[in-house]
Structure 1
């Protein structure tokens, strides 16, 4: 076999495969099919060269090209650290960012309900009487509310809070399979509970205690719950109105992506739980405790906006099938 003529005849094919391998994460459907076809063709070329030529440079070059093409086609396992970094810089923030309208809506609606409930209790002695007896209200205002944050060791309390809040977030996400309808009840119940407690405390002249204790951890904690609710509602709405794409495809994509929210919120709620256990009951001045909560909330929002918007501009959806170790699919 004339090896020079062979190289001249097939050089364009090898160059094209090289180009596709370099762009493997941004290929469209036709290019993916072309990648697979060229990989098979060049693998045959490699076999021919090995049997007909002793040129080590050519054999080495084609071996390397075929190996990289095989990795792109079959999916090479990415290092764990790379998957970890991708999760926190792409998968979780982009899903949170794409659902921002939904969790902003959940935030505003819940806040409106809580404020309305609290204002009603402050202005209505009858409503206060319906909440509990004067002795029960006095016990809540003077002891139970503040003692809740300090009656248990910080470590066990943080773990308890973390598990409870993670369970609430998981319920909100899981409710997406029922079109998100149970999420509305979860949000309503949570808003009413906050509004009732806040209204009772404010009516008793303990508004500073209420906001001084609930704000440090509550900002980040409630944001996590609203994010879980928003992501779940977005998935539920996708079942009703999937847009121009097939319903099954949209639900599968968003269903896989929402797993990122569930995993990411485990860490977010851990941070809020630590703040609730270590900062909220601490002897720090009220302004310092609230300041820590505001900083934690601002850092989280900035993180979602920065990394989420960047990933969204790059066309990322948070779908686990778009992970670095999986070949792009049409």
Structure 2
């Protein structure tokens, strides 16, 4: 192919495409012409790539077509808008919608943990049956429980508990469709906390137990309760989809609850930082618990203020309609 002759023949069309691409406003005729010239130039580029090695002209047309394509399809919104929307509307709205489910998982935890603690507190024989010999119990109460929070460096320990708790939360949500596994995770954690707490109380170490659990535990357990609630919400969307088709209801709630899982990663990061740096710190017990209480209050305020407002405006935590795709009309 004679590249110079090819350029001479088609340069006017390329210049016209360049002109239309650079215009701020296009009427209907101009937009139609832009489409035709774009398609024609794309054909020219294909011919050049298959029959010539002129890199300059190929790069020139590739750049022109990229700009024309952006002009035709429009530009995406600034990337920061999506995370801002998620943090200020979608995530808090989803949390607000989960408030009664979260209360239910919280009550489930307490209904299991408190009796478990009372049960193990009442009888040393039960303590031995659960935890082992007297020496094992003594070592757990006097050394291991407190030592757990200072075994690793602050950064390493914070990272460990963060990733572990994020994994537990993700499992609760990912397996929520079963309706069973989130409950199992809640009950398992409640039993563990209740038994250890009961043992510490029975050994006159209640102050140590609550002094080490509460600073990070308030926010951490709240996040786990939310994760369990999110999983059960997905299950309920499958069981009782309402006026929507079951598949559509499950998809909508599933997308919203995946958003909850992502948001809880940030919440659990905060609780991990508190557990890694505040819980084992030499601060007075009241100060450490106060820091944990402030973090919990900030989270609850975030949900109550931003979440209630966004939910009242119709936000559900699902992705936008443009991202969700088209759905069939339903009754109701």
TM-score (normalised: structure 2): 0.75
Query: What do the CA deviations read for 1:242-278 (whole angstroms, capped 9, x no partner)?
Result: 1121111100111111111111011101000000010
Which gives a bigger RCO, structure 1 or 2 (Cα 8 Å, sep 6+)? 1
Question: Does the Cα contact within 8 Å between 1:75 and 1:326 map onto a contact in 2?
Answer: no
Q: Tell me, which stretches of 5 or more residues in structure 2 are unaligned?
A: 1-24, 34-69
| Matched residues, number | 266
- Looking at structure 2, the residues matched to 282 and 95 of structure 1 have their Cα atoms a distance apart, in angstroms, of 34
1:271 is aligned to 2:270: yes
Q: What corresponds to 1:118 in structure 2?
A: 117
CA offset at residue 76 of structure 1? 5.2
Q: Report 1:145-160 matches (<5 A).
A: 145-160=145-160
RMSD: 2.5
| 1:223 and 2:252 correspond | no
* Rounded Cα–Cα distance in structure 1 between residues aligned with 2:208 and 2:109: 21
* Offset from partner CA, 1:23-56 (integer Å, 9 cap, x none): xxxxxxxxxxxxxxxxxxxx997328999xxxxx
Whole-angstrom distance in 1 between the partners of 2:86 and 2:232: 22
| In structure 2, C-alpha distance between the alignment counterparts of 1:76 and 1:137, rounded to whole Å | 65
User: Per-residue CA shift, 1:93-126, capped at 9, x if unaligned?
Assistant: 1111111111110011101211111011111222
Asked whether the 8 Å contact 1:213–1:281 carries over to 2, the reply is: yes
Q: Helix, strand or coil for the counterpart of 1:80? A: coil
Post-superposition Cα deviations, 1:128-158, rounded to whole Å, max 9, x if no partner, equal 1211211111000000000000111000111
- Structure 1 residue 222 displacement after superposition: 0.4
CA distance in 2, matches of 1:309, 1:220: 20
TM-score computed with the length of structure 1 as normaliser: 0.76
- Inter-partner Cα distance in structure 1 for 2:234 and 2:173: 9
Alignment check: 8 A CA contact 2:220 2:268 kept: yes
Equivalents in 2 of 1:304, 1:49: separation in Å?
46
Q: Describe the shift of the 1:326–1:111 C-alpha distance in structure 2 as closer, same or farther (beyond 3 A).
A: closer
Question: Which residue in the other structure is 2:291 paired with?
Answer: 292
Q: Is the 8 A contact 1:198 1:207 kept in 2?
A: yes
Q: 1:327 to 1:164 in 2, by over 3 A?
A: closer
Superposed displacement of residue 315, structure 1: 0.7
Equivalent pair of 1:102/1:234 in contact (CA under 8 Å): yes
- The answer on whether the counterparts of 1:216 and 1:279 sit within 8 Å (CA) in structure 2 is yes
Farther-moved stretch of structure 1 (277-286 vs 123-132): 123-132
After superposition, the C-alpha distances for 1:172-207 in whole angstroms (9 at most, x for unaligned) are 0111132x2111111110000000100000000000
2:240 maps to 1:258:
no
- The 8 Å contact of residues 216 and 292 in structure 2, kept in 1 or not, is answered as yes
Decide which structure has the larger Cα Rg and report it: 2
Contact kept in structure 2, 1:76 and 1:326, CA below 8 Å: no
In 1, distance between residues paired with 2:292 and 2:201? 21
Question: Residue in 2 aligned with 1:47?
Answer: 29
1:169-318 pair list within 5 angstroms: 169-178=169-178, 180-318=179-317
Aligned residue for 1:9? Answer: none
